[in-house]
Amino acid sequence: LFRSGAKTILCTVVANMKDCPPFLSRHRQGLSPAERSEWQAAFDEGRLAWRLGDDGRARARLNGALRIDPQYADTHFMLGSLDLRAGDTEAARRRLVDALHWDALRFRPDPRINQVVREVARGGKGGASLLDAAAALGSGPYSSAPPSGREILFEHVHLDWGGNFLLARLMAQGAATALFGGRDDGQGWLDSAACANALGYTPHERLPMLLRVDVLTRKPPFTNQLTYVDDEALMARDIDAAAQGARRPETLGRAAEVAKAALARDPENPALAGILEGIDLDLGDPAGALALAQRAEQLLPRDFALSADEASILMRLGRSAEAERVLMGAVESGADLDLLAPVLVDFWTWAKRFDEGEQFLAKAIARSPGDRRLRLFHGGLICASGDYVTAERKFREILAEDPSNEDALEAILGILDLSGRKDAAEGESLAAADDQPRNEANNLRAAKICEARGDEARSARYLEAAERSGPVNATFELTLALKLYRLKRTGEMMTRLAEARNLSRFEGNPAVTESIERLIARMRLESR
């Protein structure tokens, strides 16, 4: 590449410093039992004070914990956030860099990785130049920008629209300088709004972005982070706002206008055709969406997700023969059946051709017996045909092989509910709860069952699991706090009250926030 004369830009990597706590904190080696005990007391008290907003006590106790163990990443992060609240940005930056450095799970680039990029680029060999994005966007130790956070990133490293625009602009300017020399004066470039128009990006397109990120952040290691409950609540709030906004007629009208103009300027862009297809579906124009799906397929003939889209729209229009031809054509072309199976099952169910679908899936499963996703769809089709006994057996086979399979459990519970077997459903839910700690729906079910049976401790345990498996609200946290109070788990109760207060703020209910603050004050007096 260098010998060809091509110019190369090496770019440092941006990480979320301010709003992404460490994924995994580990203790320094050689910590004695006595030191560990002293550290734990200081850390627990400091963390609780941090959550409660008692910054002075939090700082004192966390600094005490840090003196005993200077390598525990969460301590650095909390102290950094206290510095930010106090307005000391540079002290906060140092703490947050230390938190990143000691994070034992390397999901974010640490300063050393970016320093290697800088050193290679500054050698200038082969026409390489440096774009120091980490410094420019606030995630470098010597950056002059505010510490990077939620303003430009969804979570640890994935950029939101604002962050993507800033980075793209930096890269474009760097490329211009590398190619044409001199310093770029920043003139003549598209601004954020113009870039959004060129790409067909409007508030209508924000929702699918958020939903994709939400799938990621509901899983470990995000569930281990200090701010997981708050982060999930903020994500739920953003998704709800985006969903409501995307349905508004003015939003849809503006999105259609922008996407049509963008596609007119760039008619060979399949992504723009796909965006406009989704808008037409939301506008209730399946015929228009079909034309766009077919256009996108012509531009990307081996993208079988587009075939699935086209078949779904054809079914919506009642054109079954064409839908079948598209689906079978994709199958014969080597499409991944896991991708097509949801639409195939929809087709066979819609056409009431259950036997044909079951035979097709049975043959596919015989070729790939370990493909549980295909087996789930097979069971779903059998269930749709009304054969609940066989479907339940199929789902139980999957759950026996993989006790963590949430889809199999939910399918079994659905069948038990349809057949009126309440006691069996409750037993199934409780039996699976420990194998599926991330199944929010089942955690909530199990907690409710235990509550009804008077098992407060077990109900609290499942509520704690639910708290770490999806978004919760202030009422949920208050309910959990009350259970912990009755179980005499005071410190954990106070943590949940602090979470309830934070969530009530996100929910925009000052009266509830004030009531929780009074409750916190009363509980603090009571616990002294």
Quick check: 450 and 441 in contact, CB under 8 A?
no
- Give the rounded percent of residues in the chain with a pLDDT score beyond 90: 90
Q: What is the mean pLDDT of residues 180-209?
A: 89
DSSP string covering 60-96, please?
A: HHHHHHHHH-TT-HHHHHHHHHHHHHTT-HHHHHHHH
Quick check: 186 and 173 in contact, CB under 8 A?
yes
d(CA 38, CA 65): 8
Tens digits of per-residue pLDDT, 172-181?
999 988 888 8
Q: What is the mean pLDDT of residues 311-332?
A: 95
Q: Tokens representing 254?
A: 């503006």
In sequence order, the 6+-apart residues with CB closer than 8 A to the CB of 207 are 239, 242, 243, 245, 246
Q: What is the mean pLDDT of residues 499-510?
A: 94
- Whether the pLDDT of residue 5 is over 90: the answer is no
Burial (CB < 10 A; 0-12, 13-18, 19+), residue 24, is: middle
Tens digits of per-residue pLDDT, 248-269?
999 999 999 999 999 999 999 9
pLDDT of res. 189: 92
CA 27 distance to own-chain centroid:
28
Q: For residue 451, name the pLDDT band (cuts at 50, 70, 90).
A: very high
Three-class SS state of 154: coil
What pTM was estimated for this model as a whole? 0.92
In sequence order, the 6+-apart residues with CB closer than 8 A to the CB of 88 are none
| Torsion angle, alpha carbons of 144, 146, 147, 152, to 10 | -120
Tens digits of per-residue pLDDT, 405-437?
999 999 999 999 999 999 999 999 999 999 999
Q: For residue 123, name the pLDDT band (cuts at 50, 70, 90).
A: confident
pLDDT of res. 3: 64
Q: What letters, b where the CB count within 10 A reaches 16 and e where it falls short, cover 303-313?
A: bbbbbbbbbbb
Tens digits of per-residue pLDDT, 340-353?
999 999 999 999 99
Average pLDDT of the chain, as a whole number: 94
- Whether the pLDDT of residue 2 is over 80: the answer is no
Range scoring the smallest mean pLDDT among 183-192, 297-306, 501-510: 183-192
Q: Which residue has the tokens 């200038």?
A: 124
d(CA 71, CA 79): 13
Helical segments of 131-217, H only: 133-136, 161-180, 192-199, 203-217
Q: Tokens representing 212?
A: 């994709």
Q: What is the mean pLDDT of residues 225-241?
A: 96
Residue 361 exposure: Cα atoms within 13 Å on the Cβ side: 27
Quick check: 10 and 106 in contact, CB under 8 A?
no
Q: Which residue has the tokens 């997700």?
A: 305
d(CA 165, CA 160): 9
pLDDT of res. 187: 77
- Whether the pLDDT of residue 4 is over 70: the answer is no
- Whether the pLDDT of residue 1 is over 60: the answer is no
Q: For residue 486, name the pLDDT band (cuts at 50, 70, 90).
A: very high
Q: Tokens representing 145?
A: 């920008």
Quick check: 169 and 191 in contact, CB under 8 A?
no
- Give the rounded percent of residues in the chain with a pLDDT score beyond 70: 98
| DSSP element (H, E) containing 7 | none
Tens digits of per-residue pLDDT, 144-157?
999 999 999 999 99
pLDDT of res. 180: 84
Classify residue 49 by its DSSP letter. H
Choose between 288 and 125: higher pLDDT.
288
